[in-house]
Amino acid sequence: MTTSSSSSRRPPAATRDPQRAQERILAAALAEFSAHGFAGARVDRIARRARINKRMLYHYFGDKEDLFRAILQRKLAQRAAWLAHAPDDPVEALAYWFDLASRDTDWIRLLQWEALQAGGGRLVEEEKRRASFEKGIAIFRRNQARGVLSPDLDPRQTLLAMISLTTFPLAFPQVTRLVTGLAATSPEFRKRRAAFLRQFAAAFRPKGESA
């Protein structure tokens, strides 16, 4: 009677540790989408980067759009956690969000690709993403009622301004270098930017309110 070798009986790594395999897939997919956009991303490259075969990738996440949707859902959950711990004081909030954005440049690049490829069309998970921003707007309104944020500011425009102030230098590093002479990824630029954001955001406080 013949017996199988121990190596043939051993299950693939993906099935031995599904959670770790899925983490690798999501990390590889984020890198692929941020490098090539949704249209240019290739599942076979994601599978190679994640060290998993395509069959198991499809088993965990379905098709490419399902994988993209999984990344978006994870990012929404991540940002909900960040929002829960964000400072109410706008002076500290801007520096806080800039620090987080500096550590998440793959996501910024993915958004750039999405803007180029989707244009003004409908987005994947648009309703959930809009709801995520509505939570931030609700917090702004609460802070206005508490006297932390100036009541003269439009909460929606304020949120858009905060996103712009914290992400633009990272989304357009060539502009950052041309204007400041520093790389957007350099510790010196990040230090100066955080200091500027704290100074700039003082204008978001109610008139007469000091630190």
Note the pLDDT tens digit of each residue in 48-72.
999 989 999 999 998 898 998 899 8
Tell me: do 111 and 158 sit in the same domain.
Answer: yes
- Give the count of beta carbons closer than 10 Å to the beta carbon of residue 3: 7
Whether pLDDT at 155 is above 60: yes
Q: Do residues 118 and 108 make contact, with C-beta atoms less than 8 angstroms apart?
A: no
Whether pLDDT at 25 is above 90: yes
What's the CATH code of the domain at 162? 1.10.357.10
In this prediction the pTM is: 0.80
Whether pLDDT at 13 is above 50: no
Pull the structure tokens for residue 191.
């230090």
Distances in Å between the Cα of 188 and the Cα atoms of 60, 113, 193 are: 42, 28, 9
What's the CATH code of the domain at 38? 1.10.10.60
Whether pLDDT at 1 is above 50: no
The answer to the question of residue 35 being in a domain is yes
**Res. 9 pLDDT band, cuts 50 70 90:** very low
Name, in order, each residue with C-beta under 8 angstroms of 47's C-beta and a sequence gap of 6 or more: 25, 28, 53, 54, 57
pLDDT value at position 4? 46
Tell me: do 90 and 58 sit in the same domain.
Answer: no
Range of the structural domain that residue 18 is part of: 13-72
How far is 162 from 204, CA to CA, in rounded Å?
10
What value does the mean pLDDT of the chain take? 88
Note the pLDDT tens digit of each residue in 111-125.
898 888 887 788 888
Distances in Å between the Cα of 37 and the Cα atoms of 101, 114, 118, 164 are: 19, 7, 10, 21
